[in-house]
Amino acid sequence: MSSLRHGVLIVNADDWGRDTRNTDRTLDCVVRGTVTAVSAMVFMEDSERAAEIACERGISAGLHLNFTTAFSGSQASHQLRAHLERVSRYLGKRRMAQAIFHPGLSNSFDYLVAVQREEFCRLYGSEPKRLDGHHHMHLSANVLFGGLLPAGTTIRRNFSFLPGEKSLANRLYRRALDSFLARRHELTDYFFSLPPLAPPSRLQRIFSLAKEFRVEVETHPVSADEYSFLTGEEIFKLIANVSTAAK
C-alpha cells in the first residue's frame, strides 16, 4: 500500500475472544481509545461473547487465523481439531518449518482457513476484510503459496526492522514475502510490536512514523506490561499528534 499523505496509526490487539481475560482487557483499552482494532480468534472459549461485543459496539475486527493453538470452544468439530493437530505438530517441529511448503498438509491448511473464515462470517455477519495469524503463521509457505488468503483483503505484513536489527538475509527474506503479499493484498507501510516498551525513544520513533505512513502496532493487552502502558498516560502523549484508525 502506498504511503498516505498524513499517515495513520492502527493499534491492533490480537487474541480477541481467546478467553475472557483477553477480551475484557482489550475491551478496556478500546473504550479508553488506545486500541483501535482487534484480531478475532474463532472456535475459542470466548469467541461467541467477543463477537457479540464487537458487533454491538462497532469494534473493527479482523480474523486471527490459528494454526498452532488448540481450539478451546465447544463449536470446534473433531475433524477441525484433527487438522489443527497435524498442522500444529509440523509447525512446531523446527523453527523454519513455516518457510517450507508441505504438500502433504495442503488439505489441512486449506480446511483450517476455509472453516475459520466461515465461522468468522457466522459470528460477525460478513467475511473478514483483514486477516493475520496467531504466532504470525498466516505467513507460512502453505498459506501464502497455496493462495489461501482472499485477494484484495488487508493482510498483516512482516515485522519492520531497521538495518542492524536483523541479519541482511533475514531482512531480504521478509522483504521478498512482503513483495509477494503486495501483489494480491493491501499492506500497511510498517508493522511493529508494541514491546519492548523501553527505551522510550523506540516507541517515539515508531509513533512518529504514523505522521506520514500507515503504521500498525500489534499489542496483547493480556500482558501486564502492555496493559499497564495502554491504560496509562504516556501513550496519550505519543498519539497526541497522529491520526488513529480502525484499519
Q: Where are the domains of the chain?
A: 8-238
Residue 119: phi and psi, rounded to 5, are: -70, -40
**For residue 5, what pLDDT is reported?**
52
Rounded distance between C-alpha atoms, residue 110 and residue 105, angstroms: 9
Q: Which of 47, 5, 56, 52 is nearest to 22 (CA)?
A: 47
Which pLDDT belongs to residue 1?
40
Q: Which are the contacts of 200, defined by CB distance < 8 A and separation ≥ 6?
A: 234
Rounded Cα distance, 80 and 26, in Å: 27
Whole-angstrom Cα distance, residue 87 to residue 90?
5
C-beta of residue 42 within 8 angstroms of C-beta of residue 115: no
- Whether the model clears a pTM of 0.75, i.e. scores above it, the answer is yes
What local confidence, expressed as pLDDT, does residue 246 receive?
67
Which segments in the chain show pLDDT lower than 50? Answer: 1-4
State how far the alpha carbon of 15 is from the alpha carbons of 92, 107, 194, in Å: 19, 25, 15
Class of domain 8-238: alpha beta
What gap in Å lies between CA 210 and CA 27, rounded to an integer? Answer: 23
- Whether the upstream peptide bond of residue 196 has omega within 30° of 0, thus cis, is yes
Max intra-chain CA distance, the chain: 50
The closest of 102, 162, 90, 155 to 129, measured between CA atoms, is 155
> What is the pLDDT at residue 188?
97
**Rg value, the chain, Cα:** 18
What is the CB-side half-sphere exposure of residue 174 using CA atoms within 13 A? 18
Tens of pLDDT, residue by residue over 68-121, are 999 999 999 999 999 999 999 999 998 899 999 999 999 999 999 999 999 999
